[in-house]
Each structure stands twice: as C-alpha cells, then as structure tokens.
Chain A
Amino acid sequence: MANYYTDHPELAFYLDHPLMRRVVDLREHFYEDKDKFDDAPVDYEDTIENYKRVLEIMGDLAANVIAPNSEDVDLEGPHLENGRMIYASKTFENLDAIRKAGLSGVAQARRYGGLNFPNVTFSMLSEIVSAADSSFQNIWSLQSCADTLYEFGSEEQRQRYIPRVCAGETMSMDLTEPDAGSDLQRVMLKASYDEAEGCWRLNGVKRFITNGDSDVHLVLARSEEGTTDGRGLSMFIYDKRNGGVDVRHIEHKLGIHGSPTCELVFKNAKAELVGSTRLGLIKYVMALMNGARLGIAAQSVGLSQEAYNEALAYARERAQFGKKIIDFPAVYDILATMKAKLDAGRSLLYQTARYVDIYKGLEDLQRCGHELSAEEKQEMKKYSRLADAFTPLCKGMNSEYCNQNAYDAISVHGGSGFIMEYKCQRLYRDARIFSIYEGTTQLQVVAAIRYITNGTYLNIMKEMLSDEVAAELQPLKERAAALVSKYETVLAGIAGESQEKQDFIARHLYEMTGDIMMSLLILADATVKPEFFAKSAHVYVRLAEADFARHEAFIATVQESDLENYRAE
C-alpha cells in the first residue's frame, strides 16, 4: 500500500543526523515524561522509533485519504454560508482522519495533550501532508500557532486552549489587513478594553486570512490608541465560541483552493490579550512568522517531491520516437535537476529545523525552570542566531525551487501537462503562493542579507568545509571550496557600497549563499548515504557553479549609475 513516508526513505535519513540526539534530548527534557505518560519515550532510540511510527501513520493517511481527496477538494473549494466558511466536503474527511489519528497538536507538550515532537519531525509531517495536498497542509500546519500561544500566553491560557488544538480544533493567525500586507506596522484593527466586562474588544477588518474561520485565532490589533507604528500593536486570542467575527468573503484564488482565504469582520468581538501589550508585532509575530516560514519551506519541499514523482512517472511511461522520453538527455537533465533541487532543498530544511529545535529546546528547558549552564547559554545563543539566519534562506530558496520544479513537471508532461486532468497543473498553481505568503522571497532576502554581510553564513561554510567528505566526492568538495573563496571575494568587494546598491544586488548574494550552502549540505549527506544522494550531489554542485557564475557576472558590472536604467519611473 502506498505510504508517503516509507516511499521516500530520504525522510528517515534525516532522523539519523548526529545533531538529532541533542534535538531529542532537549525536546524531551531528558525524558522526564517517561513515567508520567504511557506514550512518552524512555530514551533517544525509543523517541526516534516513535517518530517513525507516527510518520508512518501520516504517510498512510496522506497516500490513502488526503491525496485521493485532493482533486475533489481543489475543484469544490470552501464556500460561504451565512457568515461562516464551510470547507470543501472532502476537507472534512481529511480533518476527521487527522483527528482520529491524533495528529493535531503534534508539537505541543504532553501535559497539554500533545505529542511533544520537535520541528524536525513536525516539518516531516508537514512535508508529507503537503505532498498529498498542499492546501490541506495549510489548515493542518496552522496548529503551530499554538507554539506562540505556549511561548507567550499565560499558563491558564495554555491550559484552556492548547488541549483543544490537540483534540483537533483548528487555528489561524489574523495579521494581514487591506492596507497592511508585507508592512504589518500599518495594522489598524482596533482593540479596546471593555471595563464593564473586563475584557478586550476587537473591531475592524482582516483580509487574506488563511483558515480564517478557525476555532482559535491569534489576532494582531492596535491596542494603543493614537499610535501608528508596530509598537502600538498587541496580540489577542479570539475564541470562535464567543462569536463576534463573521466571514464576509472567501477569495477565489489561482491555487491552494482547499485552503480558505477569508476576509473577516470583527464586530465588538471579545478577545483576550496574549502576553504584554505593545509586543504583538515586534516580539510575538516575529516568533510566529519564523515558525510559519519553516512551515512553508516544508510545504515547498513536499510539493517539490510530488512534482518530481509525477514527472518521473510520466517520463517512464511516455514513449516518443520509439523510446521512453526518460531516455532523452533533454528530459533526464530536467528530472535530475528537479531531484537535485529537491534533495538539496530538503537538506537545508532539516538543517534549519535542527537549529530551531536546539535553541527552542534550550529555551524551553529554561522556561520550565531548569538552570542552564554557561555553555548551554552559549549554545542557545549560537543556535538562535543560526536559526534566524537559516530560516529566511530556507523559506525563500525552497519556495523558489518548488515553483521551478512545478514548472518543470509540466515541461516533462508536454502538452498533457497543460490539460486539467493531470495533477501537475494543480501543483503548478498551488506552488505559486509559496514564494509570496509568510513573506515574499524579496522579504526573505531582506531578512537574510545582514547574515550575508556580517559573515554568519560564510563562517558556517568554512566550518562545513573542514568536515571530511567521501574520497570520491573530494573533487566536488574542492569545487564547492572554490565557490566559497569567490563568495568571500564578492563580499569583500561590496563592503562600502551604497545601501541602495547593496539592496539591489541582495537577491543575487542571497542565491549565491543558497548555492554554496546547499552544495555543502548535499555533499555531507552524500558522504553518509551515497546511494541516496551521490547523483544529486554531482548534479547540484554543477548547477550551483553555473548559477553562482551568473550572479557573480551580474554583480561584477553593476555600477551605481546603472540603477537608473532599472527604475521604471
């Protein structure tokens, strides 16, 4: 029987990464739950076995429930009925299966009813769901809003809301408004304190809210009257059970039809404050966004895998000029390139997820009253910085690769790919939003650029170059090393340039960073598991060299005076 987890053994490979022991030890608080919960693991190996077992359940649901429903979900989509959003009928089936399998609240602590999984495993589950139906992945993965509720809410709020999410209730993060998209400082939804009732009230409109009619909302609203910037914004919980929010409109979109994108009207909706006022955007939403960005990276990798699978299956079957098209260099080049981007992007995803897990694990130990040693504090700082650096690289590169792979899947299908009966057209439409929401690629570049110019990435590259690779991969490693030294030269060359010029070439620097980072990651993976990754390592390094050279050439000739030629007006 098809299983989206066991059919892709590359996933299990990342559970064996050496850093996983630290990830798991921290996430399990050194197995302190083992005598308190029957489902808690007793040691590291037991935990990894648990992850594998649960990934297998999701792999089964993805292949045998969610994927078979995906076409109907795409065609039907959600609809509006008396101010309420009603999912496509098969989305309810998916949600029911997820609830019965106990796959909600997977990253929440056991004491609130969760499975206590780290981001690495959550990302794997996300990837699997996304491969089956990326629109459903949105609805499913919004459960990670509970991370923010856990990190910044009161204990009483955690106890009241997190168990509901673990039982299958859905969440949404209500941030965007008509005049506040990428620039969330412009949020105007008004929060005022109702002295009589002793609660907050929300009034205004939110737009483009994914899963906007969810059970539990996190809402960004302006609590400080008279303010106009991010420092006047706070975060609130709106509980659908209290009423006061209606869905006014559901957007008709190019893709991810199953994922309802809602316009919401808040009419004196009762709400409760999360944490402190004024920290809504500058602290809480930033945390929320970083988690969500990792989620989109996983969504991208999952869809990339599906696009590759579809293209590969078609190329194996389709014969032209007397042979299968997979045997033509023009076609196997496309397929190999897709696979290389998929493998390299996935490696970047799990590298990032591990960084996030280590710092969040330490942070949580501290939150739960463990005293961190000086070394642990240092470790937390290191990984927090790495997570901040890698998250925008991971989200931007993977969402772009995913779009490229979705495009190429159609190329392999030829004319059939343009026909609505084939799945690759849906993948192509669904992928398009990945490089837009949770921060466009352009904004990922903005988030990453400082780690490019301050040498954070460069230092990691050098660290990775000191790792041994398999003898047969040594020539590839030398080529990657040559890229690192060119990269260093480029960085030295741009120091002192104007801000505008740096901003102008930032996207190029960003992609060069991605090229090198993923080359080094795939080399490391191919060293451990050549049967999975050696081919991709060869293909990817060549791809990276060519891409790097293109960006290098672009940057080399840009003069300040050239910028004028680029301005439309």
Chain B
Amino acid sequence: MEYKIIVLAKQVPDTRNVGKDAMTEAGTVNRAALPAIFNPDDLLALEQALQIKEQNPGTKVGVLTMGPPRAGEIIRQGLYRGADTGWLLTDRLFAGADTLATSYALATAIKKIGGADIIIGGRQAIDGDTAQVGPQVAQKLGLNQVTYAEEILKIEDGKATIRRHIDGGVETVVAPLPLVITVNGSATPCRPCNAKLVMKYKRATCPSERPAEGTPYDYLYEQKPYLNLTQWSVADVDGDPGQCGNAGSPTKVKAVQNIVFQAKESKTLSGSDADVEGLIQELLNEKIIG
C-alpha cells in the first residue's frame, strides 16, 4: 500500500546547549544566542515516517513546518534524510502563535494539502514543552490520535499497530487511519543525512530564502524544479487571520518563574465526564490553565 504521510516538525532553539545569554532581559528566549535545530522528538517522528516509506514503496513523506523563512532548513533536513517534499508556513500573521493558533495553522495547511493517511509529529518541542500541538491538530481535523508512540509496528487493512510508551511499561494499540501520532523520546533515533540527498537538495529553498537573481546558481531553480520548496502564507491556506499567530493566541505570559517539578508519578484517568471534569478543575486550581 502507498500512504501519504505528513510529518509535523518545528525549528527550535537548541535548549540542550544553553549558555548564560539564552534568555533575554524580558524573559523570552534569546533565539539569536542559540543555534536553531530540528526539534529532537520531531526527528524521531520523521524516522518513523521514513520507515513506513521503506516498508511501503510508493509512500510519500512530506514535512510541514511553521516558522520564519529560515525554517526552510527544517524541510531541507527532512529531504536530506529521505522525505519527498515539504511545506513552510511563513507569514507575519502566523507569528507569535501559541499552541492553539499553531494547531489551527497546521490543521488548515493539512486541509489545503488534501489530508493524509498519517500525520505524525514529536510528542513535544524542547522550547515549549507543552505536548499540545499534536493532539490539538487531531482534534481540529476530527481524527483519531495515538500519543507517546515508540514504534509503528505495522500498517495493515487501514489500521496502524503502534507501541506506546506508558508509565511503567509499554502498550500496543491498534488505530484506524487516518490518524495523528505523536512520538515519544524513547523511539529509535533518526537516520543520518544521506550524502546523495544532501548534494541533490543543498540549494533547495523557499521563495523568501532564495538568493537574488544574478547570484551564482540562480539558473538552477528553473532547471531543477525540486529545488523550489513550497511556502504558504495565511491567505495561501485560506486561513482566518483572527485565528492565526498572536491574534489567535489566547495564551498570555503573565510572569516567568523558575519551578522544580515535584511529582514524578502519573495518574491514569478514564474518559468519563467525571474524570475529565476533575482534571480540568485540578489544572485550573493549579493555575496550569485558565
């Protein structure tokens, strides 16, 4: 079977190598001081997608990312490892998005792409650590979701068998396609960049990254269509500007505090209304949401 897979990937500051100038005076991330990298969990998601592609010839993997023009690098990093295509959502109107506006933008783009059999991303990004975007995309698209995935064991008869990492062990679940999957940090590391693919795609750019006409190799973009990466604005994906970026983000940063997580254990809740209600109440009380 051939599948259509969209990998959700984010360019993030490399918070694993934080220096003392990592934060600005205002308490926001000083992006200039940190190298921009492919979000580690998203790389694991890409690896899962590429493995499905290997097992199912004809499968196409595309990388969808939102960010400034330089986030085109994320698409190239995907192509270097075996992805077939990519889309960059870049527009001032997308800027300043919280998880709600981000998932709106991604879901809108996925509709524009025409949907997919599998939409897969990392569990969370190392800059925000919310783990909300994947589930919210599923919600907005009305799709099933499997979180904390460690390995996609097989895809057969329109269903994916997935091993999930859960507290104290693993569980294997079966879910029907189309499906949103978020991948846990314990999944197989992503493969390295491939030499031939790097040489092939090294000049692949989105329109806003493209070198000016008259610069060396500008003629290649016409000769080699695969060097032209897709870049979309809010209008290109028929998005509602009010739901995008800062305008669409109800999250407001009130203060930034250093906290130390105390609790290590997890709670298992059922899907009952009482449990859901209880969780919402608890999160409100703890001022985690609200």
**CB within 8 Å of B: which residues of A?**
1, 38-42, 45-46, 49-50, 53-54, 57, 60-61, 65, 97, 100-103, 106, 115
Q: How far is the CA of A60 from the CA of B194 in the complex (A)?
A: 12
10 CB contacts below 8 A, A to B, read A46-B217, A50-B199, A50-B202, A53-B195, A97-B191, A100-B191, A101-B194, A102-B194, A102-B197, A115-B199
Query: Could you say which residues of chain A place their CB within 8 Å of the CB of B199?
Result: 38-41, 50, 53-54, 115
Partner of B226, one of A38, A46, A53: A38
Are B195 and A102 interface neighbours, CB within 8 A? Answer: yes
| B168 contacts the other chain (CB 8 A) | no
Q: Could you list 11 further interchain pairs (A-B, Cβ under 8 angstroms) beyond the known A39-B196, A100-B194, A101-B192?
A: A1-B17, A38-B199, A38-B200, A38-B224, A41-B199, A57-B193, A101-B193, A102-B195, A102-B196, A103-B195, A115-B199
A479 CB, nearest partner CB in chain B, Å: 43
Q: How far is the CA of A42 from the CA of B224 in the complex (A)?
A: 12
Q: How far is the CA of A60 from the CA of B37 in the complex (A)?
A: 15
| B216 contacts the other chain (CB 8 A) | yes
Query: Which residues of chain B in 220-246 are interfacial with respect to chain A, using CB atoms and an 8 Å cutoff?
Result: 220, 224, 226
Q: How far is the CA of A465 from the CA of B224 in the complex (A)?
A: 48
Q: How far is the CA of A102 from the CA of B17 in the complex (A)?
A: 29
**Smallest CB-CB A-B distances: 8 pairs:** A39-B199, A102-B195, A38-B200, A101-B192, A39-B196, A100-B191, A102-B194, A39-B200
Query: Could you say which residues of chain B place their CB within 8 Å of the CB of A97?
Result: 191-192
Partner of B217, one of A1, A42, A54, A65: A42
Residue of A nearest to B198 (CB): A53
B60 CB, nearest partner CB in chain A, Å: 17
Are B192 and A45 interface neighbours, CB within 8 A? Answer: no
**CB within 8 Å of A: which residues of B?**
17, 191-200, 202, 216-217, 220, 224, 226
Are A60 and B217 interface neighbours, CB within 8 A? Answer: no
Are A115 and B196 interface neighbours, CB within 8 A? Answer: yes
Are A57 and B198 interface neighbours, CB within 8 A? Answer: yes
Q: How far is the CA of A97 from the CA of B193 in the complex (A)?
A: 10
A42-B193 CB under 8 A given contacts A49-B202, A53-B199, A54-B198? no
A115-B192 CB under 8 A given contacts A38-B224, A39-B200, A53-B202? no
Query: Could you say which residues of chain B place their CB within 8 Å of the CB of A38?
Result: 196, 199-200, 224, 226
Residue of A nearest to B220 (CB): A42
Residue of A nearest to B196 (CB): A39
Q: How far is the CA of A39 from the CA of B202 in the complex (A)?
A: 9
B18 CB, nearest partner CB in chain A, Å: 14
Q: How far is the CA of A65 from the CA of B191 in the complex (A)?
A: 11
Q: How far is the CA of A50 from the CA of B217 in the complex (A)?
A: 14
A42 CB, nearest partner CB in chain B, Å: 7
Query: Could you say which residues of chain B place their CB within 8 Å of the CB of A40?
Result: 199
A57-B195 CB under 8 A given contacts A38-B200, A38-B226, A49-B202? yes
Are B195 and A106 interface neighbours, CB within 8 A? Answer: yes
Residue of B nearest to A101 (CB): B192
Query: Could you say which residues of chain A place their CB within 8 Å of the CB of B217?
Result: 42, 46
B5 CB, nearest partner CB in chain A, Å: 19
